[in-house]
Structures are given as C-alpha cells and as structure tokens.
Amino acid sequence: MNKTLAILSTAILLVTATVTEAKQTNVSPATHTAAASKVSNVPYEMVKYGDVSIQAYVQGKGPTIVIMSSLGRSVRDYDVVAQDLVKQGFRVIRPEVRGIGLSRGPMEKLHIQDYGNDVAAVIEHFKAGPAIVVGHAWGNFPTRMVATQRPDLVKGVVLAGASAGKVPEGYKGKPIGPEIREAIDNAGNEELPEAKRIEYLKRAFFAPMNDPRVWLTGWHHEAHDAQGYARNNTPVDDYFAAGKAPILDIQPEYDTVAPKPLRGVLKGALGDRVTIVEIKNAGHALVPEQPKALAEAIGKFAKQQFAKKS
C-alpha cells in the first residue's frame, strides 16, 4: 500500500497538460496567420497563497520571463512564443489568471492590484526575481502593477499590444473608443452569429491580411468579466509608470486598440525608459499573427536587461 501511494504521489506531482500538436504553416509575412499551434506536455505547478491558487506553466532553464495573457484568454495562446524563448535560453513561466484553467480565487470586485499580487506570488514561489514580465493586451495592466508594487521582483517590463490607459493632451476621446470596446467585448460571444464575431475580430484584433478565425474559440467569460471590472475600477495612475523599470513597448502595425495617435503616450510620459518596437503585419491579437517576431523582440530585450549589472 505504501509503495502504491508513493507512486500515486509522484504521478500527481508530475502534472502536465497535454494538447494536440499542430504544425505552423510556412507562409509569407504578408499573408501569415499562425495556426493556433500548441506544444504538447507543458508542465505546470500550482502556486497557492491565502484563498488563491494559480496554475503556472513552467518551461526551460535560465533567466526568467513571465508572460501574462490578454483579456479572457489563456496563456496557452503563447505556446509557440514560449517554446521559442526557451530555445533562446530562458525559463518561461506563464500564470493563468483566476477563472482560467485550474486557477481559482475570489472573482468579485477585483482590482488590478489583485492580479498583480498573483503575479508576484508566482515569481516568489519559483524564486524567479528579478524577472522580465511580459503583458499582452489586458495583461499589460497587472504587469505594470507588479513592477510598481514589487520592483524587487522585476528586471524589465515588456508591453505587447498595450493600451497605455491615457491619451495625449488635447486628444478628444477615450483610450479605447466605444466601437472598439464593443468589438473586444463581443468577439468571444458564442451567442452571436459567427459572421458577426468574425467582423468583431477583424475590427479589434487582426491585421487585414490575417485570418481571425483562429480566435473564434478559446474565450473564458467569467475571467473576462472579472478582468474588465478590475480595469474599469483601478485608477490608471496606480500602475501607469510601471515603477522605474525599463520598458519595451511592442506595437503591432495594425493595432486598432492602441492606434497610432495614442502610441506615443508611454514614451512621452516616461522618456528614455521606454523603447518602442513595431511588429509588421500584426494587429492587437499579435500572438497568433507573428509569434516568431514577438519572441525575437522579447528575447532581445530580455538579454539586454539581464546583461546589466544590478
């Protein structure tokens, strides 16, 4: 009996998530839309603190890069990006937000600080600080928050397809306009006709040359609603500056959520701390559109920051 229990315990500890493998199509950048490529057997650990449990995928060895996902979507969207970063010599940690995968915790009336605390707990659990923290789309808010609240855990910040949360002086309008907000919030609504959802995906997420249908699936509504509440009820100034960390602002060429008139907000406010890189042939979704270019930009910035003496 004891031997059986030991075997079962070992099996439980070696938890892995298995998904179907798909080959990435080799096409020209002008027409590229990556198939929702997945990597099989990605190991994870559960990080627990208080009444929160966070599922964190862990791959590779080396300096650590932590990736936060976009609104209502899983970090498994970043399988190809993570695999590329591992090949570059990094350890990649991807925590799921509450309500996605096995991540659990209070979901009512959350603020960005709560999500930042989750990220900090993951970094501390793996003794991974100071790390490069990457936030894609909505994920840029908790990424900047953890850099603000726990600068000791952050070596540098990467914002990918990120709304700054503010507009330039004299700009008439909100950081995200009503038509784009409608598209963001309804692209994952399975009750709508597929044609309408594709219209929303094109409007808010994908560059004109890319196929938006890869994001018809993979939406998590409870997480989406909790994340939206947190965004709407946390003052932008609580996290805007990302502490004093160096920032890489990755801007997709066709991003309508962070359109060109608003792309200089962070650089204008924070100056030389911010480096801007544009990725061609990509929209706000970015990850399924140009995963290799994204991984290259993140890896280059991470190597520069880790090479600096503290």
* Nearest of 281, 263, 228, 247 to residue 97 by alpha carbon: 228
Distance of alpha carbon 229 from its chain centroid, rounded?
18
Percent of the chain with pLDDT over 90: 84
- Per-domain residue ranges of the chain: 14-307
What single-letter amino acid sits at 296? E
For residue 88, name the pLDDT band (cuts at 50, 70, 90): very high
Determine phi and psi for 250, rounding to 5 degrees: -90, 120
Cα angle: 254, vertex 257, 262; to 5 degrees? 85
Paired tokens of 232: 């709407």
| Contacts of residue 66, Cβ cutoff 8 Å, sequence gap at least 6 | 92, 93, 94, 95, 119, 122, 123, 128, 131, 132, 133, 134
Structure confidence by residue, pLDDT tens digits, 218-255: 999 999 999 999 999 999 999 999 999 999 999 999 99
CATH superfamily entry for domain 14-307: Alpha/Beta hydrolase fold, catalytic domain (3.40.50.1820)
Task: Please write the tens of the pLDDT for every residue from 151-208.
Answer: 999 999 999 999 999 999 889 889 999 999 999 999 999 999 999 999 999 999 999 9
> How far, in Å, are 84, 97, 299 from residue 89 at the CA level?
9, 25, 9
Per-residue confidence (pLDDT) for residue 17, from 0 to 100: 38
Report strand pairing: 42-49 vs 52-59: antiparallel
Instruction: Report the helix count and the strand count for the chain, using DSSP H and E.
Output: 9, 9
What are the tokens at 206? 């994908």
Q: Of residues 262 and 6, which shows the higher confidence score? A: 262
**Letter for the amino acid at 183?**
A
309 falls in which pLDDT band (50, 70, 90)? confident
Does pLDDT of 267 surpass 80? yes
What is the average pLDDT across 291-307? Answer: 99
Contact 244, 89 (CB under 8 A): no
- What mean pLDDT is reported for the chain? 90
Taking only the tens place, the pLDDT of each residue in 35-66 is 445 667 899 999 999 999 999 999 999 999 99
Model-level pTM greater than 0.75? yes
Cα separation, 75 vs 77, in Å, equals: 5
Distance between CA atoms of 129 and 153, rounded to whole angstroms? 4
Cβ–Cβ under 8 Å, residues 174 and 196: no
How far apart, in whole angstroms, are the C-alpha atoms of residue 55 and residue 204?
Answer: 28
